Structure 1
Amino acid sequence: MIGRILTTGCRLGAALLVSTVALGSSRAQAASAAQPGQTIGLPVGAQLPVGLYFVNTSSFGVRDTRPLDSESNINLPTFLWATPWTLFGARLNLATTQPVVASSVRGAPYQSGIGVPLIAAQLAWKLGENFGVSYLFGGYHPIETRFLIQNASLSHRFAATYSGDGLNLTANLLYGIYIDPISPQGTVYPDYLNLDLTATKKFGKWEIGPVAFASTDLPTRFPGYRQQGQIAVGGLVGYNFGPVNLQAYVTQDVVERNYAGRETRGWLRVIVPIYKESTNSAAPSPSVTGPARLATR
């Protein structure tokens, strides 16, 4: 079932927005290449049926950067191929994501452009009837869109999913490493950790439950850089129309550090299997993917 396409490659995803300037600091601040919260709702630790999937995760957020709010729209179209091949006893998945971003910082005119594309491979192990783990390794490739993250980086993702009894209990830890921590314009790109959490249950075609995510910049060697971080909570509702699976969720910051305000963000995801091999075993069903963590500063 589609419901398992991880962010796989897709945070499955892309990197994005560098839209905040450190208050009182001589260096601009940046965010992670993978958008925090982008893999919520996806059983990224579970094995997918062999097939080709299209997943688009779109979100719109408003951050309370008084006196004028900051807004951003992030789209993460992703193609995920769950191959018939195995490696070290795991299913091999291949994914690519091309983010498209529009943002307005503190009421300024909107800017739009493409974010750093992600190309990734994932290994997904089925350790029991309803339990799986996965490891994703990928790279975000450099771009020249000035208001977004420009530099190349590596992405490691470690996920675990329990999918029995209609549940989707998933934790996905994303660790990003920038190859060059400074952009040509002097923006600092710190390494980062993101954690996306899902606890939903299926009721027929419906899916509902609480979700949360946390993100933090890791320490840097650059004096004056102000590390950013946040914790957000929310709820998810999904509906399976048959071949097409939709998910919607809303998250709100309960803690933020150096973002200049808390953010409320609405998310919408569509999952479409372009083709999928039939399987005799019932695969767990919570929905799929999304890679990229966005810098919504």
Structure 2
Amino acid sequence: MAAYRLTSRTLWAALTVVIVSGARPVQAGSAAQPGQTVGLPVGAQLPVGLYFVNLSSFGTRSTQPRDSSTNVNLPTLAWATPWDVAGARLQFFFTQPVAAASSRGAPYQSGIGQQLLAAQLAWDLGGDVGVSYLFGGYLPIQTRFLTQSASLTHRFAASYTGQDWNLTANLLYGVFLDTRSPSGTIYPDYLNLDLTMTRKFGKWQVGAVAYGSSDLPTGVGSYRPQGQIAVGGLVGYNFGPVNLQAYLTRDVVQRNYGGREIRGWLRAIVPLYQDRGEVEPNRTLVTRRQAE
């Protein structure tokens, strides 16, 4: 849940934009960090409750003459309400990103990223299958080295959570309200796809993850669209009230980023309140059905 990009075609890190050197136009990127939802069954209903989720990641991209690095933190509050709308559970999300970046060995810059406010409808279709639709917006900010323009996000997810599996696909479509910043940064609309295939073995969770992203056409001839495909593996452990997940990903394809990236991720899921009628004691909730 963040925006990204550092220096001309170098980094894609959440909520990071970078100024291109020389006379070429400044470029921007996705308002949602690619890969940020892998590992989660985002198509399924959450049990009623309030949750704190933090995803922290650090990535290094093999740019020249020196590597470029970014650290992204996405603290999120998630509220699964007891209310149904059109047969779906109504859920709300708030994210306040914080990012730090170093382009080609330059000193790190850090700052507060764009807040995300979103609502989601999640339908239980039966047979351990769920689908969801999320609609939200990234608020404008004035942090200079980050994406500044407001944007809308649409997310369409489907999950299968039976037999201790988590098979999830989440398509993210972002639309910027202003296509250029006052400094000339181009903000392309974007598509991201996050994929998860994991299985639980007792308290452990292991599996494969992948994600891809692509800028959509801007109509600006000088703009070079960016994109990538990354794959990796995930391991998680349920400590009781807290669930931890870690995954490592690497680009297998990249376009106009200046090099491939390897990134490590760590997620903590902490229930702040749960409806005990839906969740077993000492069970970290992953989905409503898995908690039955």
TM-score with structure 2 length normalisation? 0.91
Residue 255 in structure 1 maps to residue 253 in structure 2: yes
Q: Deviations over 1:195-220 (max 9, x none)?
A: 00000000000000010000000000
1:8 match: none
- Whether contact under 8 Å (1:76, 1:99) holds in the other structure is yes
2:162 match: 164
Distance 2:66 2:233 in 1: 27
1:86 match: 84
Distance 2:61 2:20 in 1: 14
1:18 match: 17
1:272 to 270, 273, 277: 270
- Whether contact under 8 Å (1:166, 1:284) holds in the other structure is no
Residue 198 in structure 1 maps to residue 201 in structure 2: no
Deviation at 1:278, TM superposition (A): 1.6
Q: Deviations over 1:174-227 (max 9, x none)?
A: 000000010111000000000000000000000000100000000001120000
1:217 match: 215
1:60 match: 58
Structure 2 gaps, min length 5: 4-13
Residue 173 in structure 1 maps to residue 163 in structure 2: no
Residues 237 and 286 of structure 1: is their aligned pair in 2 closer, same or farther, counting only changes over 3 Å?
farther
Distance 1:166 1:25 in 2: 53
Residue 267 of structure 2 aligns with an amino acid whose one-letter code is: R
1:182 match: 180
- Whether contact under 8 Å (1:37, 1:196) holds in the other structure is yes
1:7 match: none
1:72 to 70, 73, 79: 70
2:103 match: 105
1:242 match: 240
| Cα RMSD (Å) | 1.9
Distance 1:81 1:196 in 2: 22
Residues 103 and 263 of structure 1: is their aligned pair in 2 closer, same or farther, counting only changes over 3 Å?
same
Deviation at 1:281, TM superposition (A): 7.5
Distance 1:234 1:287 in 2: 23
1:95 match: 93
2:150 match: 152
TM-score with structure 1 length normalisation? 0.89
- Whether contact under 8 Å (1:63, 1:69) holds in the other structure is yes
- Whether contact under 8 Å (2:19, 2:145) holds in the other structure is no
Count matched residues: 276
- Whether contact under 8 Å (2:242, 2:284) holds in the other structure is no
Residues 234 and 286 of structure 1: is their aligned pair in 2 closer, same or farther, counting only changes over 3 Å?
farther
Residue 172 of structure 1 aligns with an amino acid whose one-letter code is: N
Q: Please list, as runs of the form range in 1=range in 2, the aligned pairs for 1:117-156 lying within 5 A after superposition.
A: 117-156=115-154
Distance 1:63 1:154 in 2: 28
